[in-house]
Structure 1
Amino acid sequence: MKNISDNSFKEYGRILQIDSSAFIKTMTAKAAVKQDVVYEASDKELENLPLFGQMQHEIFGGLDIEFGFCSGCNTKLNAVEYHRTSEIDIAATDLILMLGHQQDIDYSTNTYETDNIELFFVPQGTAVELYATTLHYAPCRQNDEEFRCGVILPKGTNMPLPAKRSSADGENRLLFAVNKWLIGHTESNIDKDGGFIGLIGQNTHC
């Protein structure tokens, strides 16, 4: 595992300089999750923070955005996803990100080898921008404690698709939700929800 400050992280994103104190206070006040992963795309408490406006204007150039969170006790990769835009992750606790490159997807078969995944430790209070070509999924916990992570994306991302896919060919087979392309591992069971199974190799553990 590498630290987020390692130079190799620059291939996946960048560290943002923000004041995360009010965000951490808000997140730590929330009830314990006690599940592998819980994701809320939009959270009113987080969107009432001054940080919401700062991210909207300074990072997303005025786009409508959503400020939610991902929390839980996850220890596995399970899937990789990517968006057409950057994603901002803010660590309310220490956590681990599993990251890869979209360029390593074999689009002839829509498969990705998990050996390409790199693990990065993100200390509490750190905000990172993950570039659009960075494969990622739910963070993992550190030291057997529940992780809590803020997630900022363009508004509507990860919401149900408004209409059926026009085609199930090529990359369109990976489109799982609005602005969300996903490849799952056989252990994830996402195929039961219409997700595509295409991760080759072990289901990486933290």
Structure 2
Amino acid sequence: MKIYNVSDQEFGTYGRVIKGLDVAELLEALKETPKPDDVIYVASDEKLEACACAEKIAYSLYGGMPIQIGYCNGSNVLLNAVEYHRDSEVNVALTDLILILGREQDIEEDGTYETSKMEAFLVPAGTVVEVYATTLHYAPCNVNGNKFCTAVVLPKGTNTEAPERQNNTEEDKLLFARNKWLIAHKDAKIEGAFEGLKGENLSVE
């Protein structure tokens, strides 16, 4: 699949590059986080949240709301699923990485989604990007076979244990964790997830 850069105008549909924030301390702290051969996601990490830029990120990008800073690291080449939140997600990339992105507006009424509508974007090392709330995304992918590492900033409590299941709307079947709606590909075999991705399980290889 074609891989754009987040500096390309095509990225404007899905998010924006953030400039002006000094995240050097956060990038240094990310170097100490684990880099497994699969994918690890930690929603909240005390050392990352202790960085001086955390308060500035909360102010400038979340209007002073409580935030959490965690990380997503490892090795991955497949889409596997898409998720979205009710708020933007901010990624601070220690390494080059690729995000495969789509639009929440293209989800069908039955909760299914066609993966052929997605586009891939290179996030260069050191870049801070905001991924809009209406953007479908999941774990980053490798660049040139190298492991990826990124900070993940979200409103506090996001991606933690899901609330007790309710069935008020059609969308409720997608709620997988707190403030996390997920649509999985059948090939990914994600336990408890709604398998609604249609088409190819996209790969960056």
Q: TM-score, normalised by structure 2?
A: 0.95
Alignment check: 8 A CA contact 2:35 2:149 kept = no
What CA distance in whole angstroms lies between the structure 2 residues aligned with 1:179 and 1:58?
21
2:141 maps to what in 1? 140
Amino acid of the residue matched to residue 78 of structure 1? N
Aligned to 2:129: 128
Shift of 1:169: 5.1
How much does 1:71 deviate? 0.5
- Measure the CA separation in 2 of the matches of 1:59 and 1:150: 15
Where does residue 21 of structure 1 map in the other structure? 24
Q: What's the secondary structure of 1:57's corresponding residue? A: helix
Instruction: Give the whole-Å Cα distance in 2 for the aligned partners of 1:186 and 1:160.
Output: 23
Q: 2: distance between equivalents of 1:31 and 1:131?
A: 27
- What SS does the aligned partner of 1:45 have? helix
The unaligned stretches of length 5 or more in structure 2 are none
Instruction: Identify the residue that residue 188 of structure 2 maps to in structure 1.
Output: 188
Q: Which amino acid aligns with 1:28?
A: K
Distance 1:141 1:25 in 2: 20
Worse-matched range after superposition: 14-23 or 26-35: 26-35
More displaced stretch, 181-190 vs 22-31: 22-31
Following the alignment from structure 2 to structure 1, what is the Cα–Cα distance between the partners of residues 152 and 73? Answer: 10
Q: Among the aligned pairs, what percent are the same residue?
A: 47
Number of aligned pairs?
A: 201
**Aligned Cα RMSD in Å?**
1.1
- Confirm or deny that 1:65 pairs with 2:67: yes
Could you say what secondary structure the match of 2:28 adopts? helix
- Structure 1: runs of 5+ lacking an equivalent: none
How far 1:168 moved relative to its partner? Answer: 7.1
State the TM-score, normalized to the length of structure 1.
0.94
